[in-house]
Amino acid sequence: MAALENRPFVKMNGLGNEIVVLDLRDAPLAVPPEEARALARPDVLPFDQIMALYPPQSEGTRAFVRIINNDGSESGACGNGTRCIALYEAGRTGTDHMVFESVAGPLACSIAPEGITVDMGVPRFGWHDIPLAGPVMDTRAIELQAGPAESPVLRAPAVVNVGNPHAIFWVEDVEAIDLARLGPELEHHPIFPERANISLARVVSPEHIVLKVWERGVGLTRACGSAACATAVAAARLGLTGRRVTVTLPGGDLVIDWRESDDHILMTGPAEFEFDGRLTATMLGGAELPATRPGGAELPGTRPGGAELPATRPGGAELPSGAA
């Protein structure tokens, strides 16, 4: 029997970043990577991340969250997914201020008419924090390039850790570069011992950045909240922008404020409830577990066509009423 069989799920998205919330607080169990990969198949429940909720470990927090990519690997941060679990918890409990715990630290969230704000913590810049394979003094621009050696198409990214590792390349036009081709090579470059999320960023003005992201363990996505945070911080460090910027991703806009008083990064944006249901053995791979989406190069749709998906409500704006 699949470990997650019969568990309730809630499908949500944050700016089109496809999120599955698994509330495992009542009966905690680890998400088996092979079941995550099976679930992510295009005809089942394609997602970018699972946000798995476990019993809180500290007083005053709602849950300990573990973040699982659709290749079954785990990440320390997911900005869009955190807004989703904040909305989920608000629907369940009626509270609009809450704190989650994660392997990277506390995540304080607040819900307001202008959006859901998550305190993503303090960014780290040391080469061993990213981490990089060896000592680098200045992580605002590291020695790394992609494309032909004699005429690289990408070079000298900034690197930042915001709970997960990011490399940001500054470009004139994010659409002019084939990130689906270069992303896998850069994600797995030996300079990144834990791999990295790879971003192309165009600085439009001191208040505006356009961003496209190849996510570690996933591929191209419509939005990546932690990449938006990492990029905003990297741009401010280089003097390309101020500390408050709007970051435009394929899925929409996030406002990032790298707060001067304590260096915490505040990310504000939307999240949406889509539908909920229960996981079945077939969804979790049954007897055989085929590979996940090839290369993750396609942008996933918002609604799977899987005939056996036991969705209990059509996609809608309402809040989930407690799937746990």
Ligand X SMILES: N[C@@H](CCC[C@H](N)C(=O)O)C(=O)O
For binding to ligand X (CB under 6 A), which residues are involved? 17, 48-49, 67, 69, 75, 77-81, 164, 197, 215-218, 224-226
Task: Tell me if 80 is assigned to a ligand binding site.
Answer: yes
Task: Tell me if 17 is assigned to a ligand binding site.
Answer: yes
Spatial contact of 52 and 24, defined as CB atoms under 8 Å apart: yes
Give the nearer residue to ligand X in terms of CB position, either 2 or 22.
22
Give the nearer residue to ligand X in terms of CB position, either 48 or 89.
48
Give the nearer residue to ligand X in terms of CB position, either 2 or 292.
292
Q: Least distance (Å) from ligand X to the CB of residue 35? A: 18
DSSP 303: S
Q: Least distance (Å) from ligand X to the CB of residue 245? A: 16
Q: Least distance (Å) from ligand X to the CB of residue 42? A: 18
Could you say which of 78, 84, 109, 229 is catalytic? 78
* DSSP letters for 171-228: -S-GGGS-HHHHHHHHHT-TT-TT--EEEEEEEEETTEEEEEEEETTTEE-S--HHHH
Could you say which of 84, 109, 224, 229 is catalytic? 224
DSSP 140: T
Task: Tell me if 215 is assigned to a ligand binding site.
Answer: yes
Give the nearer residue to ligand X in terms of CB position, either 2 or 249.
249
Q: Least distance (Å) from ligand X to the CB of residue 130? A: 12
- Token output for 38: 């099976």
CA dihedral 313, 74, 184, 219 (to 10 degrees): 10
Does the annotation count 78 as an active-site position?
A: yes
Question: Cβ contacts of residue 152 below 8 Å, gap of 6+?
Answer: 145, 146
Task: Tell me if 6 is assigned to a ligand binding site.
Answer: no
Q: Can you tell me the distance from the alpha carbon of 130 to that of 125, in angstroms, rounded to the nearest whole number?
A: 7
Task: Tell me if 110 is assigned to a ligand binding site.
Answer: no
Q: Can you tell me the distance from the alpha carbon of 211 to that of 168, in angstroms, rounded to the nearest whole number?
A: 9
Strand partners, 49: 19, 69
Q: What residues are designated binding site for substrate?
A: 17, 49, 69, 79-80, 164, 197, 215-216, 225-226
What positions carry a catalytic annotation?
78, 224
Task: Point out the annotated binding site.
Answer: 17, 49, 69, 79-80, 164, 197, 215-216, 225-226
